[in-house]
Amino acid sequence: MQSNRHHIINSTALFMLAIITAQTTACQQPGNDTPQQPIVHSVPEENIGIAIFAGGCFWCTESDFDKVPGVISTTSGFIGGTVANPTYKQVVVGNTGHIEAVRIEYDKSITTYAALLEAFWPTIDPVFKGGQFCDIGPQYRSAIFYLNPEQQALAAASKAALEASGRFEQPIATEILPATQFYSAEEYHQDYYLKNPLRYTFYRSNCGRDDRLQQLWEDEH
């Protein structure tokens, strides 16, 4: 199923052309906004932990996690599918089995995997099965990919605690899955919110992501 992300951009092409001179298909073309520069951290290798989360549009998940203290770097990519070295154009159709996800490197001396789980939940709609926000399809569903039994146990406990909290009447749809091969997305997707701030802000606003998050997690935002 084609992402609604494209429909939002294409249906408002005249508006976009008025503020930026670029292609209107935000996900398929590199932008030409004035880019910001990502912050580079230097951390000893033994202090680096890895986590993988899927929260719909990987531009947004990457942006959200870059704000979390202790996160060193984020990489947008694809995981969970059956096709080797998938391209964005293959994944977006929804036939490869992959999910848009973000691979996170974090400083274990500053934060923990449990803390990243707590940071993850308020960035998603955990009761929506069909994707996330305006992006519809299995390639946009929310998931936690564990890399070892400890992460699996922590993820399961975190999900169970959310279910037991009574915050939501519907069951938590976010899946907990074993990590498979993670493939980095094309370079123009990396740090998209920094490279193309106007396009990114326009997409995120029109997707209704923050409005829905405010509704779901009012006390967290």
Q: Helix (H, G, I), strand (E, B), or coil: what is residue 168?
A: coil
Q: What φ, ψ does residue 70 adopt, rounded to 5°?
A: 95, -15
Q: How far apart are CA 5 and CA 136, in angstroms?
A: 9
Count of helices and strands (H, E) across the chain: 9, 8
Beta bridge partners of 105: 50, 73
Beta bridge partners of 178: 146
Set 27, 57, 134, 207: catalytic member: 57
- 134 catalytic? Reply is no
- H-only helix segments in the chain: 4-11, 13-19, 58-66, 88-91, 113-120, 149-164, 192-195, 197-207, 209-216
Report which DSSP code applies to 9.
H
* Catalytic residue numbers, as ranges: 57
